[in-house]
Structure formats: structure tokens, C-alpha cells
Amino acid sequence: MTQSAAYQRLTARFARIATIQEAAAMLGWDAAAMMPEGGAAARGDQLAVLAGLAHAELVAPQVADDLADAEAAQPDPGADQWAAANLRLMRHAHTRASALPGALVEAQARENSACEKIWRQARSRADFALVRPALETVVRLVREQAQALAPALELAPYDALMDGYQRGIGAADVAPVFADYETFLARALPAAEARQAALPAPVRPAGPFPVAAQEALCRRLSERLGLDFTHARLDRSAHPFSGGTATDVRITTRYDEADFAQAVLAVVHETGHALYERGLPAAHARQPVGEAAGMAAHESQSLIVEMQAARSDAFLAWLGPELHAAFGGDLAPYAPGNLARLWRRVERGFIRVDADEMTYPAHVILRFRLEQALVGGDLAVADLPGAWNDGFRALLGVTPPDDARGCLQDIHWYDGAFGYFPSYTLGAMAAAQLMAAARRAVPGLDAALGQGDAGPLLGWLRVNVHGRGSLLGFQDLLRAATGKPLDPADFEAHLTARYLG
């Protein structure tokens, strides 16, 4: 099918934008994994200039004309669904970028960065009052941002923020799912705790575990899970992440010689993200329709590998001997049953990033409710610590001993990111839903995992998730892959089987 000249110009422009963003992604990886401290100031300038260039390409006057011409010229959308979806996504990106006044964008960049710096001090001192004025500024600007985006996107203000992380998903999609989970948790968590208390205490493998041995194991494991290191690197950074580009993914982890679990499980998680990037449709590379389908979709891919596959009984049975071969020592701690008790423990902890898969959604539900109230003006920043602690107690029955273990623990809000938190739990739920569908579709899936072979799972994900890029929205992607939109039932069934079975 021949595309209009306007559409051709748009694809060239969006390819240029994506290529600039690739450069920025590499520089972001370098900043976290390689850059000497003295390079930070210049790196900030480099990233700001690249972001400015990409933004300028996106809001150039020619784009509006080309979009209008390409939309008018569009033939039967059934004829090329990829091009039709791509054009819609271009329009969406242009609308988002054009809706914000330049002065607001600059003010947010400046104030978010300033607040984030103060937050680091405030967290280390557990002193919310220190960062409160800066957070008030950040929240005021986020409200302006939401108000500016909402009419352009025809969404409610908070939904307009959520849309920036997981397009097409709003509070109305999330609230009932989270309410359902809250009910489930109130019943399941005490039951899981009781069952756990009745099991033998897990034995921790005895270290030290040399970093070189951990690193070699992590790389082998990532390769085994399907990551091709002619298109990837594994490095170290303060916080594990997956970055880079689709043909050159960069994953990182950190090593603790006393405990290999942190490094290994982080690499498994980041490998899930990396495999998604590697599996995106190459024919649509550097086009909006060729990108990953959003943050929740991305998290579903890290969690399906980490939580669904790698922590399954089948995979642990293969992994235990591998770990023992790498580190030696007593065999007992590497018995699959012991690893399961060690890595599948529920706990009413205060810190989200340390939470187990059953309590994690409670951390997210709390933040989802609080950030809606903050953005909507129903909660003042001054009242955040109290509201946090009340909400936490209501969900998990315990009260944070200080704000460092309460409303100061996450960087997100202090850096201006509102609407992002739900993605973590949407991803966890989608991972369970996709895994259930994959198990139905691929009979030998668990048997293969028992041989350390994630190939059958990966093959199914390539077709049903990765290869679809952004052709479908999050809900439609789930419908196409699993037969239904987001449904907490599969996640709850997974937790029931694993923690109450």
C-alpha cells in the first residue's frame, strides 16, 4: 500500500526523533553505569539538549500540517493496520507534546530537579518538613501539567498523567481492580503468613560469593533466558535497570558478596525487560507503533520472567544445582524447596522495593490513592505523612516508624512523576494473566522451565506481546493475548496457588 507523502515525511521525522532518543538512552545508561562523577554536569546539558531537539521535532509546525494531510489521505484503515495505528500514535504524541506551554516544561524540569536533590537529604534524615516546600511546588506544577494535558487529550487530569506512562489506562480501569485486590489481600495475607509460619525456616546460602562468580552466573542465566549478548551488555550500577535500545540493550545489576540473590534476581528481572525490547517488531523500528506498549506492559515482561517463570517450582528445580555449581558449599540451601521458601516469603514490610509479590500491590494501591488526591487537590502536601501512615495501616495493618520508611521512600513524586505507580501492579497482574494464557497455549512450558529452558514461554511472548509493539493498547493487547482485558483473577489465583496451596 502506498502511503501519502505527508505520512512518509512523518515516518522520517519520527525515525529521527527516535534516533535522538536512542542517543539519549545510551547517554543515560552511561551516566548510571560508566560516567565518572565529574562528567555529571556536562551530561545533564547533553541530555537536555537532546530532549530539546527531539521535542522541537515533535512540535514543529510542519507536523500538524502533515498529520492533518496524512489523516485526510488515509485509505481504509483495515488495509494497513500498522500504518493506521502508527498515525494515531503520532497524533497522540504530538498532542501531548504540544499541550504543555514551554514555560511550564522548563519550570517542571527546574523544580523537579531541585526537589529531588532536597529529597535525598530529607530521606536520609527522615525529615519530611525539609522537602515539604519543594514538594508543594512540584505538586502545584503537576496540577498545572494535568490541567493543560486534560482538555487536549479529552481525559480527566489524573488520567492525563497516567496516560503518559501507560497510554489509554485511567483511574476507572484501575480502581475496581485494586479494590478487588484489597479484598483478596485482607483474606490471603493472614492465611499466607499462617502457612509460612508452619513451614521450616529457610536456610540462607553461606557466602562470601565473589563478584566475578556472580557476574559470570548472571550473564549465563540471562543468556539462558534468551538474551543474545551480541545485542546486549550486562554492567553494574547503583540501581539495577534496563536501558539502551532495541538492538543494543544494556542491563545492569549490583553485587553484594554476602548475598547473591539480589544480583541474580535483578538480572532475571531486567532480562525480562530486555527481551521485550529485543522482540519488538523490527519492521517498525523507530516508529511509535514499533515501541513497547507502555510501562505496565514493560513491567509485565520483567515480572513474567522474574516472578512467574524464574520463581516457579519448575525453574527453581533447575536453578538450584546451577547456583550450587557456581558457588559450592553446602547443598541444602540450594534445594529447590529451600530456595522457594527463601525467595517466596510474604512480609508486612514498609519498603515497596523490598516487598514480596503479595504485599507489593498494597504499596501501589496506597500511592495510587494518595497521588490522585494530591493531583486533585483533595490532599495537601502538609497532610501527606499522616495520610500515608493511615493508609498503610489500613492496608497492611502496621504503621511506618518514620517518614523515611513512609512517604519519603520513593523518588517518584519528588521528581514530578505522578501516575506512574499503578504500572507496577498492572504489570504484575498482566504477567500472571499472560502466564496463564501461555500455559494454556503451550503445553510443555513448565516442563521446559524445569530444564532451564524459557524458549517456549519466550516464543509465545514474542508472538503475543513483543512482536505486537504498540499496535494495540494495553487492554486490547491483553484481550488479544489472553481473551480478556485486565483481570486480577489470574494474579490472585497465582498467589493462592503459590502461597496458600
Give the footprint of a copy of itself on this chain (CB under 8 A).
16, 19-20, 22-23, 26-27, 30, 34-39, 41-43, 45-46, 49-50, 53, 228-233, 244-248
| Residue 270 known to be catalytic | yes
In Å, how far are 171, 200, 223, 314 from 195, measured between CA atoms?
34, 10, 35, 21
CB 47 to a copy of itself: min, Å: 8
In Å, how far are 1, 9, 415 from 75, measured between CA atoms?
9, 17, 43
Helix ranges (H only) for 39-101 are: 40-59, 61-73, 81-99
Please name the residues in contact with 327: beta carbons below 8 A apart, sequence gap of 6 or more. Answer: 205, 207, 209, 213, 217, 260
Please name the residues in contact with 357: beta carbons below 8 A apart, sequence gap of 6 or more. Answer: 307, 344, 428, 495
CB 42 to a copy of itself: min, Å: 5
What amino acid is encoded at 57 in this protein?
E
The smaller minimum CB distance to a copy of itself, of residues 5 and 12, is found at 12
C-alpha to C-alpha distance for 251 and 86, rounded to whole angstroms: 28
β-bridge pairing 232-236 and 248-253: parallel
CB 38 to a copy of itself: min, Å: 3
**Residue-wise DSSP of 137-173:** HHHHHHHHHHHHHHHHHTS-HHHHHHHTTSTT--HHH
The smaller minimum CB distance to a copy of itself, of residues 249 and 370, is found at 249
The smaller minimum CB distance to a copy of itself, of residues 88 and 233, is found at 233
Rg of the chain in Å (alpha carbons): 23
**Residue-wise DSSP of 239-262:** S--EEEETTEEEEEE--BTTBSHH
Given a contact cutoff of 8 angstroms between Cβ atoms, the answer to whether 99 and 152 are in contact is yes
CB 276 to a copy of itself: min, Å: 16
Helix (H, G, I), strand (E, B) or coil at 236: strand
User: Which helix (H) or strand (E) element contains residue 466?
Assistant: none
What amino acid is encoded at 220 in this protein?
R
What amino acid is encoded at 256 in this protein?
D
C-alpha to C-alpha distance for 389 and 307, rounded to whole angstroms: 28
Q: To 10 degrees, what angle do helices 171-198 and 488-499 make? A: 10
The smaller minimum CB distance to a copy of itself, of residues 39 and 328, is found at 39
The smaller minimum CB distance to a copy of itself, of residues 16 and 348, is found at 16
Helix (H, G, I), strand (E, B) or coil at 291: coil
SS (H, E, C) 353-372: HHCCCCCHHHHHHHHHHHHH
Which of 421, 177, 420, 428 is CA-nearest to residue 301? 428
The active-site residue out of 116, 270, 299, 306 is 270
In Å, how far are 319, 340, 461, 500 from 310, measured between CA atoms?
8, 11, 15, 19
**Residue-wise DSSP of 341-354:** HHHS-----S-GGG
C-alpha to C-alpha distance for 313 and 336, rounded to whole angstroms: 7
CB 286 to a copy of itself: min, Å: 8
CB 19 to a copy of itself: min, Å: 4
Please name the residues in contact with 436: beta carbons below 8 A apart, sequence gap of 6 or more. Answer: 482, 490, 493, 494
Q: Which residues are catalytic?
A: 270
